[in-house]
Chain A
């Protein structure tokens, strides 16, 4: 069964028409950093600013009512996309990072004390490390890490041992932004719940690429960003279970997050507004909704199948190149991400030369420095794929890598 009609999809992303150097078309292999945007997303925000723009809530005029309705419709669509029972459980933030910080500062400060244990993993993005470092400095909480095996999986046997120390929270990435590893979220969450811990899932890479159902997986918190799933930058989501969110104190203070304010006191607003201080990213919420609608029409199962097809092909082609080492598990257990080293050529040189051929890849530690320390390398070159990438682009990547080798031979 064919997965996605990539040929048609490509016509819906205007940026894919451009050349990056004269006569050299763009081959965009950096969707793990941020995805490109289809016309429907760009147009939805353009249309919002041209016809509906007003600040949300409390305005009595037509535009205010329209923009409020659109903002809340977006929330509803996104709630539905992850199968949240109620739109109230979808808090708009700036991005995944802010969502994780919200949990660390609001839930963390209210619930974690000196000596309390938070379990993280060695494959976390800095955004799921530093908020906990800050809380450790402030509160004296303890951090332990589920190790990464040599082939790029989480070592769940060590996790089982760590759980005996009765953690309060287990916070982990659903899909590694470097290795591509899709972690067994259901199992990790069940094991945490069995010892009374709650869980925070960094879904920045999983929600754009595979079906994620918060009820089915029994997630307590889920964080993700619009810009990695065809939507605009500047807006993300924190999903949380109602009883947790209800009990959490506000995070940022300001307008919209209050019911009433007096000179010396305030009463917080109800969910989800309690956590949304100040004018939010309104047009971006409209774009986010259009992105989710686009993904829903494609079908997340088909998106996942397409990515499985492309990563199988990519790994097969890449691994035939002498001197390459692709990190992470085999294709069946990972998303469409290939981070690699090539001989002893520095990733900066690799990506700079690939750029000559229009290939946009990323070089560095991809905001996962501890993982690179674990792998024993300072940096990798990362090619990542999404719904608009095809096999020909994998071939171009392979040709480009041979050119890099030629220059450095």
Chain B
């Protein structure tokens, strides 16, 4: 419990490294968690081999959702779209370095859900993407 607001989370929440928008972009997707109003948009630019060259996220919400988006953005630079499709819940939790209950898990996984929905080119971000 003490770990939940680890310095890295508060730091990333207050001083995000990848906040912003990319226009134009190759992939852009956004969605929200209607239960708490968290919102995340993720923009990607790819290089000639379809690997992530640049990434930015935008949105608002709790510290967990915003910090996890920032950490996730950092972690996918240089990754191929196939590698992104294979990212799991555990990968995000590892980035955050904490364990979360079911309610907060939704906050933490919103960014991965948005990212994968964008990469898959889906119309909406389903929870199945991060199961």
Given the known inter-chain contacts A346-B62, A349-B62, A352-B104, please indicate yes or no for A407 contacting B10, CB distance below 8 A.
yes
- Report whether B36 and A364 are in contact in the complex, using a CB–CB cutoff of 8 Å: yes
- What B residues does A401 contact at CB under 8 A? none
Contact flag A356-B1 (CB < 8 Å), given A348-B107, A349-B63: yes
Interface residues of A in 349-367 (CB under 8 A from B): 349, 352-353, 355-356, 363-365
For residue A401, give the distance in angstroms from its CB to the closest CB of chain B.
15
State A407–B2 Cα separation when bound (angstroms): 12
Q: A152 at interface (Cβ–Cβ under 8 A)?
A: no
B78 within 8 A of A: no
For B35, what are the chain A residues with a Cβ–Cβ distance below 8 Å? 364-365
The CA-CA distance from A356 to B36 in the complex, in Å, is 21
B61 in contact (CB, < 8 A): yes
Complex Cα distance, B37 from A365, in Å, reads 9
Q: Is B104 touching A348 in the complex (CB atoms < 8 A)? A: yes
Beta-carbon contacts under 8 Å, B66-82 to A: none
The answer to whether the Cβ of A408 comes within 8 Å of any Cβ in the partner chain is yes
CB-contacts of A368-385 with B (<8 A): 377-379
Q: Are A355 and B1 interface neighbours, CB within 8 A?
A: yes
Chain A residue with Cβ nearest B10? A407
Tally of contact residues, B, Cβ under 8 A: 17
B42 contact set on A, CB distance < 8 A: none
Q: Does A187 sit within 8 A of B, measured CB to CB?
A: no
Residue of B nearest to A353 (CB): B5
Contact with A along B54-66 (1 / 0, CB 8 A): 0000000111100
Instruction: Assess whether A408 is in contact with B36, with CB atoms less than 8 Å apart.
Output: no
A349 to B108, CA, bound (A): 12
Chain A residues with Cβ below 8 Å from B5 are: 349, 352-353, 407
Q: A348-B62, A349-B63 are in contact. Are A379 and B37 (CB under 8 A)?
A: yes
Q: A347-B36, A348-B62 are in contact. Are A408 and B10 (CB under 8 A)?
A: yes
Shortest distance from the beta carbon of A221 to any chain B beta carbon, whole Å = 30
Which single member of A21, A363, A364 contacts B1 (CB below 8 Å)? A21
In Å, the complex CA distance between A352 and B1 comes to: 9
Known: A346-B62, A349-B62, A349-B63. A378 touches B4 (CB 8 A): no
Interface size on A, residues (CB 8 A): 17
Which residues of A sit under 8 angstroms from B64, Cβ to Cβ?
A: 348-349
**Are B36 and A346 closer than 8 Å at their CB atoms?**
yes
From A352, A365, A379, B4 is in contact (CB under 8 Å) with A352
Chain B residues, CB < 8 A from A352: 4-5, 104
Residue of A with least CB distance to B66: A346
Q: Bound state CA distance, A267 and B2, in angstroms?
A: 62
The answer to whether residues A356 and B104 also contact, given A348-B62, A408-B10 and a CB cut-off of 8 A, is no
User: Closest B-chain residue to A365, C-beta based?
Assistant: B35
Known: A348-B107, A349-B63. A356 touches B37 (CB 8 A): no
Minimum distance in angstroms from A125 CB to a CB of chain B: 15
Q: Closest CB of chain B to A364's CB: distance in Å?
A: 6
B21 vs chain A, min Cβ distance (A): 20
* Minimal beta-carbon separation of A239 from chain B (angstroms): 32
Chain A residue contacts of B107, Cβ below 8 A: 348
A378: chain B residues within 8 A (beta carbon): 36-37
Query: Which A residues are in CB contact (< 8 Å) with B104?
Result: 348, 352
Given contacts A346-B63, A352-B104, contact A363 B4 (CB under 8 A): no
Shortest C-beta distance, A122 to chain B (Å), equals: 18
> A21 to B2, alpha carbons, bound, how many Å?
10
- For B14-57 the 0/1 string (1 means CB < 8 A from A) is 10000000000000000000011110000000000000000000
* Alpha-carbon distance between A391 and B70 when the two chains are bound, in angstroms: 41
Roughly how many angstroms separate A300 CA and B103 CA in the complex, as a whole number? 36
Interface residues of A (CB under 8 A from B): 21, 346-349, 352-353, 355-356, 363-365, 377-379, 407-408
| Pairs across A and B, CB under 8 Å, 6 listed | A346-B63, A348-B107, A349-B5, A356-B2, A365-B35, A379-B37
A-B contacts besides A346-B38, A408-B10, A408-B14, 13 pairs, CB < 8 Å:
A21-B1, A346-B63, A347-B36, A348-B103, A349-B62, A352-B4, A353-B5, A355-B1, A356-B1, A364-B35, A378-B36, A379-B36, A407-B5
Interface residues of B, Cβ cutoff 8 Å to A: 1-2, 4-5, 10, 14, 35-38, 61-64, 103-104, 107
Q: Which 8 A-B pairs have the closest CB atoms?
A: A378-B37, A346-B62, A348-B62, A349-B62, A349-B63, A379-B36, A379-B37, A348-B36
